[in-house]
Amino acid sequence: MVWDKLSMFTNFQFQDPYGRPLGGTQGELAFPVKYTLFDETGQIVLVVDAQRVRGLLYEFLIHDGSGTVLAALRQESSVMSRKYGLSVGGQENWRLTTDAMGYHYQVEEVVGGRILVTGDRKPAVRTSTTEITIVDGQPLDHRVVLGAMILAAYLTTRG
């Protein structure tokens, strides 16, 4: 996942380990945040947006291309890291955690703490690249992982 820091929007491009393009996001000038992830053919893979829950509290939703909600992300409080509850199918079985500086992200099980996904951001002068690793055989939709990583990067760099 590559972010061009000089872009007006926080848009991301996705590549395989060999640098071949897999798609990218198109952010919208909207508050709260909204991203649409397209594959390399231009088809919508997922949409990430936010809805106001109450006051200044937002819940972030990850939809598929047809609008079906795949997951919801809500912020939890933490001093040394940022924690977000990740619900799939109405069950909050996972937690997205970022370090205080936003250089390491991970998705872990709430019960047991087993790490399912990691993301390590490597900032450079013009770009920032996040390497995403999904543990083989885990029951987590890859679209949810991509949506969670987009939100983690957005929230730690702009949020």
Residue-range domain boundaries for the chain: 2-157
Does the 2-157 domain belong in CATH 3.60.21.10? no
Q: Are 95 and 107 in contact (CB under 8 A)?
A: yes
Cα–Cα distances (Å) from 112 to 92, 108, 139, 154, in that order, read 13, 9, 15, 27
In our burial notation (b when 16+ CB lie closer than 10 A, e otherwise), range 15-48 reads eeeeeeeebbbebeeeeebbbbbbeeeeebbbbb
pLDDT averaged per 10 residues, the chain (length 159): 71 82 71 79 86 69 91 72 83 86 88 91 82 82 86 71
Phi, psi of 76 (to 5 degrees): -110, 165
pLDDT value at residue 8: 61
To the nearest 5 percent, what fractions of the chain are helix, strand and coil? 10, 55, 35
pLDDT value at residue 64: 92
